[in-house]
Chains A and B, each alone.
Chain A
Amino acid sequence: MKKTGLIILALLVAVCMSGFAGASDTVKIGFHAPLTGFAASDGKSASIGAKLAVEQVNMSGGINGKKIELIIYDDQAKPSQSIPIASKLIGQDKVVIGISGSYSGPTRSAAGIFQESKIPYISAYAIHPDITRSGDYVFRTSFLGAVQGKAGAKLVGEILGKKKVVMITLQNDFGKSLAAGFKEAALNFGIEVAGEYQYSIKDRNFGSIVARVKAHKPEAIYASGYYFTAGPLISQLRASGVTVPVIGQEGYDSQKFIEIAGKAAEGVIITTSLDRDSKNPETASFISEFEEKAGFKADMVAASAHTAVMVAADAIKKAGSTDSVAVRNAIAATKLKVSTGTIRFNKLGEVVKSVQNQVVKDGLWRHHSIIDDAKILTPPEK
């Protein structure tokens, strides 16, 4: 009885202490991600990635002697939720920087609020082209759909040398902007798009699309999707006897994809931003520490959120204060080596970095090739 009382007392004291420590000298970074609802898996990966970055920064002494405090809210991937969250982060929590670990809709809505209040905001992996057009306080650490689509075209047409391609397009902002980028660059690489078929994010059975694609007899298939749609899609394609290369993108980038598709996943190539075989110490340490912290293998979403927090921490450090103008300028001047490579931002706030191509080999994502062709990677300035 006495023992439990003591433990409770000790816990209470500990809680109070940590509360006090948190109140006085921390630097607050706001973070919103879909922790519940249909997008909860990406929200979980993203928030673990962000937490890992915070731990790493705090372990190595924090920012200018202060520790980072990450304030995480759940937005259910809904714009109507992210608007009050953005307002709360700015108005109540007084964060120095906001980071989105969420999808395009909520991110674009929140970006407007951050821009109005002149608080810097970084989108970790939402790909809507209008997010950075909200204004000069908004940045993005992942590729634009169009950039990645063009990289996909180069991968198919030049690196693999395949010319007759069928596209399977996910019907949302991600799939559509990838498809637009791919089609735009296809001509430059001599690719003929024999057909394009669309599916909804809710589909898991692709029987009719597979049958149609097969009838085209393509040399390669460019299929956009997330691991939970791509996994069933690839295994169904292979089961129906389609053996040509399948090219995907960062949406596939999760160990779960390989788990779902099984042997069918072998040989699938994707354009992404996380290189599993990287010699870069930032990337290598991220991959191993993430797996240790999370209990499952790192994915693109986690790496992007990790990158966004690292960029934020670096900018606050360089700015030497939490003044929002100074921090914004520091982000704009970023030149940083992080888990997703060496990154900087262009005038619009879009990231400039190389595309990492990964291939599935023996049940693991491995290095395939790199695209660092400036013509393809340069995002729009406006």
Chain B
Amino acid sequence: MLYLELLLQGLIQGSMYAIIAVGLTLVYGLLRILHVAHAGLFALGGYVGLLIFNETGSLILAMPLAAALVGLVGMAVYRLCYQPILDRPPYVALIASIGLFIAMEELFRLIFGPYGLTYKNPPLQAYVNLFGIHIRAAELCMVGASITLLGVLSYLAQNTRIGVACRATVEDPEMAASFGIDAIKVRYLNFFIGSALAALAGIFVSLLSNLVEPTMGGVPSYKALAIIVLGGLGNVKGTLIASLVIGIVEAFGTIYIGNLLDRDAIAFAFLIIVLMIRPQGLFAEK
């Protein structure tokens, strides 16, 4: 019973990681950059969603609006920050991204204050009783949303022109270009989708804790990197599985070896062990 509940909690945490990490892995697959500022967009999503909700009282309105807005910001980040330095060594984009992330965190603090914001009437706080396990509506919605969104995305990637174009560009940019695929458009699309997903994750996380703080992107900023590496960098399927695996490892780890290592150390210890056995991550591209 306890094991089942821990497994469930791991899956909940994992599905949150999944929505964040998929955007990151899309960006990596396309551009080979570690996009740390993705976590800043995650926090921005939390803020925008909360502000819209507190104004209108409608989550149905807040979610797509926040996702779309943050998606646009993500496109702007690509255009203004990454595009000019793509031909540089990878650490250049990495450090630029870290700088951007620090600046974003500080901007949130300066604009919205250091104490964090809370929902006026937090929605989705009811819970259902599944065989004695209480699950909150927000948790259910998060798992449901991540399955639906990622399912729809993979369907689109397989069955639409633009989806095929995206996959082709990731596989072989030059070949794709020779077939007349506009690589620039594909990049914008990827940044839009990835950032919108991060924003949704930000809203779900803030619903679970009823708190949006300037530093809420801190953990995802590095944990998501670990997840996409574990999943094989740029591999979407691998990233999804890695998210769930890390979620479950953490859920059990914090209980059974929590007095030896903290949550982060457990996740990274697992990552290092896997990488030493499989240097290309769980699901290597080639």
* A, B from the same assembly: yes
A interface residues (Cβ-Cβ under 8 A, vs B): 36, 38, 40-41, 43-44, 171, 196-200, 202-205, 207-209, 211-212, 215, 228, 231-232, 235-236, 239-241, 256, 259-262, 296
Assess whether A231 is in contact with B115, with CB atoms less than 8 Å apart. Answer: no
Interchain nearest-CB distance for B136 vs A (Å)? 5
Binding stretch for chain A, among B58-66, B73-81, B188-196, B251-259: B251-259
Binding stretch for chain A, among B6-14, B30-38, B157-165, B173-181: B6-14
B125 at the interface (CB under 8 A from A): yes
Interchain nearest-CB distance for B125 vs A (Å)? 7
Assess whether A200 is in contact with B264, with CB atoms less than 8 Å apart. Answer: yes
Complex formed: what's the CA distance from A236 to B209 in Å? 8
Add 14 more A-B contacts to A200-B264, A211-B9, A212-B2 (CB < 8 A).
A44-B113, A44-B114, A198-B258, A198-B259, A199-B258, A203-B263, A205-B12, A205-B16, A205-B205, A207-B251, A208-B255, A235-B125, A236-B208, A260-B210
The answer to whether residues A232 and B210 also contact, given A38-B218, A200-B262 and a CB cut-off of 8 A, is yes
Assess whether A239 is in contact with B127, with CB atoms less than 8 Å apart. Answer: yes
B133: chain A residues at CB < 8 Å are: 211
A211: chain B residues at CB < 8 Å are: 2, 5-6, 9, 133
Q: Kindly identify which residue among A171, A240, A241 contacts B262, using a CB–CB cutoff of 8 Å.
A: A171
Complex formed: what's the CA distance from A196 to B264 in Å? 19
Residue of B nearest to A258 (CB): B118
Chain A interface, DSSP helix/strand/loop, else mixed:
helix
Assess whether A228 is in contact with B116, with CB atoms less than 8 Å apart. Answer: yes
Top-5 shortest CB links A-B: A207-B9, A232-B209, A40-B114, A41-B114, A208-B251
The answer to whether residues A260 and B6 also contact, given A36-B106, A200-B264, A212-B255 and a CB cut-off of 8 A, is no
Assess whether A239 is in contact with B134, with CB atoms less than 8 Å apart. Answer: yes
Complex formed: what's the CA distance from A231 to B211 in Å? 9
Assess whether B136 is in contact with A198, with CB atoms less than 8 Å apart. Answer: no
B219 at the interface (CB under 8 A from A): yes
B218: chain A residues at CB < 8 Å are: 38, 202
Interchain nearest-CB distance for A22 vs B (Å)? 27
B109 at the interface (CB under 8 A from A): yes
Contact with A along B252-283 (1 / 0, CB 8 A): 10110011001110000000000000000000
Complex formed: what's the CA distance from A97 to B113 in Å? 30
The answer to whether residues A200 and B5 also contact, given A38-B215, A232-B211, A239-B134 and a CB cut-off of 8 A, is no
Total contacting residues, chain B, CB less than 8 A: 44
Complex formed: what's the CA distance from A200 to B215 in Å? 14
A212: chain B residues at CB < 8 Å are: 2, 6, 255
Residue of A nearest to B258 (CB): A198
Complex formed: what's the CA distance from A157 to B251 in Å? 31
B interface residues (Cβ-Cβ under 8 A, vs A): 1-2, 5-6, 9-10, 12-13, 16, 106, 109, 113-116, 118, 122, 125, 127, 133-134, 136, 139, 205, 208-211, 213-216, 218-219, 250-252, 254-255, 258-259, 262-264
Assess whether A240 is in contact with B134, with CB atoms less than 8 Å apart. Answer: yes
Assess whether A40 is in contact with B255, with CB atoms less than 8 Å apart. Answer: no
Q: Kindly identify which residue among A198, A204, A228 contacts B208, using a CB–CB cutoff of 8 Å.
A: A204
Residue of B nearest to A40 (CB): B114
Interchain nearest-CB distance for B64 vs A (Å)? 24
Assess whether B211 is in contact with A198, with CB atoms less than 8 Å apart. Answer: no
Complex formed: what's the CA distance from A241 to B264 in Å? 28
Residue of B nearest to A215 (CB): B2
Interchain nearest-CB distance for A238 vs B (Å)? 10
Could you list some 27 contacts between A and B, CB below 8 A?
Answer: A36-B109, A41-B114, A200-B264, A202-B218, A204-B205, A204-B211, A204-B216, A205-B12, A205-B13, A205-B205, A207-B139, A208-B6, A211-B5, A212-B255, A228-B211, A231-B209, A231-B211, A232-B210, A235-B209, A235-B210, A239-B136, A240-B134, A241-B134, A256-B115, A256-B118, A260-B209, A260-B211
Q: Kindly identify which residue among B6, B9, B209, B259 contacts A196, using a CB–CB cutoff of 8 Å.
A: B259
The answer to whether residues A197 and B254 also contact, given A41-B114, A260-B118 and a CB cut-off of 8 A, is yes
The answer to whether residues A259 and B118 also contact, given A207-B13, A209-B254 and a CB cut-off of 8 A, is yes
Interchain nearest-CB distance for A214 vs B (Å)? 8
Assess whether A256 is in contact with B262, with CB atoms less than 8 Å apart. Answer: no
Assess whether B255 is in contact with A209, with CB atoms less than 8 Å apart. Answer: yes
A41: chain B residues at CB < 8 Å are: 113-116
A196: chain B residues at CB < 8 Å are: 259
Assess whether B114 is in contact with A198, with CB atoms less than 8 Å apart. Answer: no
Residue of B nearest to A213 (CB): B255
